[in-house]
Chains A and B, each alone.
Chain A
Amino acid sequence: MSPIDDELRTTLQRRSTDVSPLPDPLGGITSRARRLRRRRVAAAMGSAAVVVAAVAVAVPLAMGGGTGTTVRQPAGSAEPTPSSQGALDPAQPWAERGLVGKEVVASSCAQCRPLFTQQFGSTTETFAVGENPDSALFLARDYTTANGAVLQQTQDLPKDLRVLTWALDGDATNPGRLVVIAAPDALVEYAPEGTGYQQISDVGQAPKGIGLVPLEAAAPKDTVRVTEADGTQVVVAAPDWKPADTSTPVNVLGWVHRGSAQKLSDAAVVAKFDAALPGTGGHYRSLVDGTSNGLDFTFGQAWHDGDAAAHTVAYDSSGVLFLGPETPRDPWVMAAVFSRTNATDLLVVLPRPGAGRIGYAPSATAAFTDIASGRSDLNSVGLVDRDPKALDDRVQVHRGDDSVILTEGVAKLTCGTKDCG
């Protein structure tokens, strides 16, 4: 330990003791969280990737002469329309329907007025509407989860809404579903192919003005038709939906597992992965496992359900996970550094199956030496006792005919989520 280490530690400790606690640490957190959430929703709504929640805005057209003429308007692209009896007014919102009195609007959303509450599986969910301090209309969806927690999602809405639609994912036992909320006196109908409407409000579990449809497959042409009491008819495209994608991300490598039997459990790796990158439905696939100088290690990929890409991760028996960036598609080589002792780190180099020999050079100018492990249990995996201070060491991968495929710096191969770019 050098003198500056001690002095720096002392300086930081002394400075920190000058900091008195906040008198009310909880004050302002919920309002700040709400602002953050709205910003996120606003950003998300600008993205084509948003398919979970969509709000449809329709241009109403009074039926003329009983001909039933309607105007169809795609979601989110309508011009402002004059308000009429059926439009949603946050000051005097539509009557609450469903499980009235059992709404789960969070205390943080005291200004929310519930529109519809229902039981879905083990969840009670409430759809509510309210006005921000800047008079912008917003919609909140609150729901309890199995552990009793309350989540809240909000999104800003345009004015003069006549129908709200959501396509929501299901759970383990229930399919996804389309939820439509309109005025209580409105008739709600649904057409999976855009024609042949069937009434979905005021039937089965659906109260007046509420439409509920199970969703089990994508229906790109489906539409919702709302007929209000005065004859005003609104047709909107139902929001896009497809079954939740729990398949494996495309960048998960199909490489054969190498090394010894996996000693560190998938669950341990996933728990750390969840902590580093919160999500649900975590998976880990090991590419190589081994033991070196008493350190058990595993190196592979982890992802959550619905993720488009898996991350490179490394984990060892000290209990620390290294979260790398999204794994490139079918790379020639992967590498991870494990902190083993103060003297040397362990560099694990994993070439694509079928590659030839691999070499390592401890500096930018040093010659390469072969590092493919002679240990039969590690099958073409390179293990290097690496100088912790090495900054410009390199790895070289050869084809089977011994031509060089790739020469790359270890720092680039082992970069994390933040220092690759």
Chain B
Amino acid sequence: MQPAFSDYVAARSAALLRTAYLLTGNRADAEDLLQTTLAKTYLAWDRIRDRDALDGYVRRTMVNTQTSFWRRKKPESLYDTPPDRPGRDAQADSDLHDALWSALAKLGRKQRAVLVLRYYEDLSETETAALLGISVGTVKSTTSRALAVLRQDSSLRDDPRTALPLGAPR
């Protein structure tokens, strides 16, 4: 194995595993997704001339690979159950985030990928569009619809922390 590839994996695998976990919802599938993504990257390593763009290439490979995973499996079966979280003071927050995590599991694959890239990876709409191979308009509409689905989820519908700002259209 080439040293440059090994160095890249050593430096980036932990962060990539976190992204894989958010895309898949459970540890086992996240590890499988990461390994497949890195294997594909290894095969393409010598064709990737712009090493500064590696992360983008790897993220795109991961999302595309996950797309095929989602097509084979039901999202409901993928998710880790929310872990117990200590501390009664944080209970309300914990409940909200567990509810959001569960609601995320009900989104479509593209909706979830867009949210992970926008809200976890902090990519712009344009960067997300370029990475996913979709238009900027599709990123915007997908984000908007995904957030609407989350707000309408039965466990989040009445929570004021997930409400739209005053005056915003519903």
| Interface residues, chain A, with chain B CB atoms under 8 Å away | 2-5, 7-19, 21-22, 25-26, 28-30, 32-33, 35-37, 107-108, 145, 147, 149-151, 271-272, 274-276, 278-280, 318, 320-323, 337-339, 345, 388-391, 410-411, 414-419
Contact = CB atoms under 8 A, between A and B. Distances in A.
Contacts of A10: 97
Contact of B1 (A15, A21, A107, A278): A107
B147 A4 contact: yes
Contact of B135 (A12, A107, A318, A414): A414
Given A16-B21, A32-B36, A339-B126, A275 B47 contact: no
Given A16-B21, A320-B124, A149 B45 contact: yes
20 contacts: A3-B162, A4-B162, A4-B163, A8-B119, A11-B96, A15-B22, A19-B30, A28-B35, A29-B35, A36-B43, A149-B46, A271-B49, A272-B50, A274-B48, A274-B50, A276-B133, A279-B47, A339-B124, A411-B135, A411-B137
Given A11-B97, A274-B49, 17 more contacts: A2-B147, A4-B147, A7-B100, A7-B162, A12-B22, A15-B101, A21-B13, A25-B9, A25-B34, A29-B38, A30-B42, A33-B39, A338-B126, A345-B137, A411-B138, A415-B134, A416-B138
Contacts of B46: 145, 147, 149, 151
B56 A275 contact: yes
A37 B43 contact: yes
B169 to A, nearest CB: 10
B2 interface: yes
Contacts of B74: none
A19 B141 CA distance: 30
Interface in B133-147: 133-138, 140-141, 144, 147
A370 to B, nearest CB: 22
Contact of A278 (B36, B44, B168): B44
A379 to B, nearest CB: 25
B100 A416 contact: no
B39 A419 contact: no
B22 A321 contact: no
Given A5-B119, A108-B1, A339 B17 contact: no
Interface in B67-86: 83
Contacts of B19: 16
Contacts of A151: 46
B130 A323 contact: yes
Contact of B97 (A7, A29, A275): A7
A300 to B, nearest CB: 16
Contacts of B162: 3-4, 7
B131 to A, nearest CB: 8
- Give chain B's interface secondary structure class: helix
B165 interface: yes
Nearest to A148: B2
B61 to A, nearest CB: 10
Contact of A414 (B9, B40, B132, B137): B137
Interface of B: 1-2, 6, 9-10, 13-14, 17-19, 21-22, 27, 30-31, 34-36, 38-40, 42-50, 53, 56-57, 60, 83, 96-97, 100-101, 104, 115-116, 119-120, 124-127, 129-130, 132-138, 140-141, 144, 147, 150-151, 160-165, 168
A339 B125 contact: yes
B38 A25 contact: yes
Most buried by B among A9, A32, A37, A279: A32
A191 B150 CA distance: 69
A360 B42 CA distance: 46
A321 B130 contact: yes
Nearest to A4: B162
B119 A26 contact: no
B21 A272 contact: no
Most buried by A among B97, B115, B130, B162: B130
A319 to B, nearest CB: 9
A82 to B, nearest CB: 37
Nearest to B11: A25
A391 B147 contact: no
A22 B20 CA distance: 12
A36 B42 CA distance: 11
Given A12-B22, A16-B21, A339-B126, A418 B133 contact: yes
Contacts of A320: 124, 126-127, 130
Contacts of B83: 18
Contacts of B42: 29-30, 33
A342 to B, nearest CB: 10
Contacts of A11: 96-97, 100-101, 104
A290 B107 CA distance: 39
B100 A8 contact: yes
B4 to A, nearest CB: 8
Contacts of A16: 18-19, 21-22, 120
B116 A275 contact: no
Given A2-B165, A11-B101, A26 B135 contact: no
Nearest to B100: A11
A12 B105 CA distance: 12
B48 A275 contact: yes
A145 B161 CA distance: 56
